[in-house]
Amino acid sequence: MKNILFITIVITGIILLAGATAIDKEEFSINDNTPVVEVLTKFGHPTPPHTVNPMIQGASAEIGQDIVLNGISRKRGKKSRRQSKHFVCTSCHNVQKEDPDLRSHDPQARLEYAQKNGLSFLQGTTLYGAVNRTSWYNGDYNKKYDAEKIKPAQTDLREAIQLCATECAQGRPLKDWELESVLAYMWTLQLKMSDLSMSDTDKKRLKNEQSDISKYPALAKLVRSYYSEAAPATFTDQPSNLKEGYSLSGNADNGKLVYDLSCKHCHENGRYSMFILDDDKMTYRFMKRNFTKYTRYSTYHVTSYGAATNVKAPYMPNYTLERLSKQQTEDLRAYFEKMSE
């Protein structure tokens, strides 16, 4: 009797185990909607340290979205204090995919993609896929902030969010549940396999080899080769001779895109700045005249170094070369010149 019971248990166990592995294999199929992080985890990568902490009470992606888009969070129906008097996160960041090829940081490809998809063209890197990066505030951002402040933000997404809330948005630090909410929202913006636009050959390879454990490290490497895990940042200087500029000939049509999708995002109707940019001929003439002058209104100056009229007031972040090329700056100049005629 005991033996029969034992055999039954063993057999049931085997059946359950076989069933479980079958299900496991089925679930493992990768499709366009599979999150990249999930694929990498299957292939043996550790889960990122900024995975949402479920122990933090009252946090949700919905609240996070509210903070990022509107600057205000609701906690159990109650509104909390605005995060910043001056900005919301989307003043400076998109929340959509903004680079057609996630391996590249080409500002011209991004500008054209922004036009096609109704996005803005901004100084901050998109929050889409921020959870898929492994470092933040890269490159020359080391020059902008004290090492003590920036070092923790370069290796920890939570710290990066807090640094930006206080330094970029010039607001108050986020409370625990707000921070975890923003993080939860960012996880809804994580990269999916379809965002990678893998080649057919590589897709096939992934499909054929995905259940072969010995192939996991190579497959993880393959997936990671399709996107960038850090947004590089190169600061630039204004030209040494403003009249000569960057010695590139500008394309006014392209300059119009920069004006409409970037400058106007903040300056139209005084949205984030008292300094108003519109389509008035007077405005174009003003911008043209000041472009090549040593004044606070010179576009060369503000795009390279940013602008602040007062320490407590909103400021304009500088553009890195990954966010606005020298060519695009000259295109803007050509546009102001054309519109001044």
Q: Does the protein bind ligand HEC through residue 288 (CB under 6 A)?
A: no
Q: For the chain, what is the largest distance between any 2 Cα atoms, rounded to a whole number of angstroms?
A: 101
Residue whose token pair is 């889960």:
47
Q: By C-beta, is 213 or 311 nearer to ligand HEC? A: 311
Q: Does the protein bind ligand HEC through residue 91 (CB under 6 A)?
A: yes
Binding test (CB under 6 A) with ligand HEC, winner from 95, 238, 317, 333: 317
Stretch that binds ligand HEC, among 97-105, 108-116, 157-165, 212-220 (CB under 6 A): 157-165
Query: Are 111 and 132 within 8 A, CB to CB?
Result: no
Q: By C-beta, is 39 or 231 nearer to ligand HEC? A: 231
Please give the C-alpha separations between residue 61 and each of 67, 107, 180, 187, 286, in angstroms, as whole numbers: 10, 30, 8, 8, 44
Cα 151 from Cα 229, distance rounded (Å):
17
Footprint of ligand HEC on residues 216-275 (CB under 6 A)?
A: 231, 233, 258, 262-263, 265-267, 272-275
Query: Are 299 and 238 within 8 A, CB to CB?
Result: no
Q: What is the residue type of 244?
A: E
Q: Does the protein bind ligand HEC through residue 158 (CB under 6 A)?
A: no
Q: Least distance to ligand HEC from the beta carbon of 47, Å?
A: 18
Q: Least distance to ligand HEC from the beta carbon of 243, Å?
A: 18
| Chain centroid offset of residue 280 CA | 33
Overall size of the chain counted in residues: 341
Residues in CB range of 256: below 8 A, 6 or more apart: 335
Which two tokens mark 88? Answer: 């919301």
Binding test (CB under 6 A) with ligand HEC, winner from 59, 89, 150, 321: 89
Number of residues this chain uses to bind ligand HEC (CB under 6 A): 47
Q: By C-beta, is 43 or 137 nearer to ligand HEC? A: 137
Stretch that binds ligand HEC, among 33-41, 99-107, 202-210, 312-320 (CB under 6 A): 312-320
Q: Does the protein bind ligand HEC through residue 87 (CB under 6 A)?
A: yes
Binding test (CB under 6 A) with ligand HEC, winner from 307, 327, 337, 338: 307
Q: Does the protein bind ligand HEC through residue 182 (CB under 6 A)?
A: yes
Q: Does the protein bind ligand HEC through residue 114 (CB under 6 A)?
A: no
Q: By C-beta, is 206 or 233 nearer to ligand HEC? A: 233
Binding test (CB under 6 A) with ligand HEC, winner from 303, 325, 331, 339: 303
Q: Least distance to ligand HEC from the beta carbon of 159, Å?
A: 9
Footprint of ligand HEC on residues 192-221 (CB under 6 A)?
A: none
Residue whose token pair is 């807090």:
162
Query: Are 102 and 193 within 8 A, CB to CB?
Result: no
Which two tokens mark 300? Answer: 């060369």
Residues in CB range of 96: below 8 A, 6 or more apart: 117, 119, 126, 128
Q: Does the protein bind ligand HEC through residue 123 (CB under 6 A)?
A: yes
User: Which of 294, 271, 281 shows the shortest CA–CA distance to 336?
Assistant: 281
Q: Least distance to ligand HEC from the beta carbon of 5, Å?
A: 58
Q: Least distance to ligand HEC from the beta carbon of 15, Å?
A: 48
Query: Are 226 and 102 within 8 A, CB to CB?
Result: yes
Q: Long-range contacts: 140-147, Cβ < 8 Å, 24+?
A: 140/233, 140/234, 140/235, 140/320, 141/233, 143/235, 144/235
Q: Does the protein bind ligand HEC through residue 296 (CB under 6 A)?
A: yes
- Give the binding site for ligand HEC (CB under 6 A): 68, 83, 87, 89, 91-93, 122-125, 130, 133, 136-137, 141, 160-161, 164-165, 168-169, 182, 231, 233, 258, 262-263, 265-267, 272-275, 296-297, 299, 302-303, 307, 309, 313-317
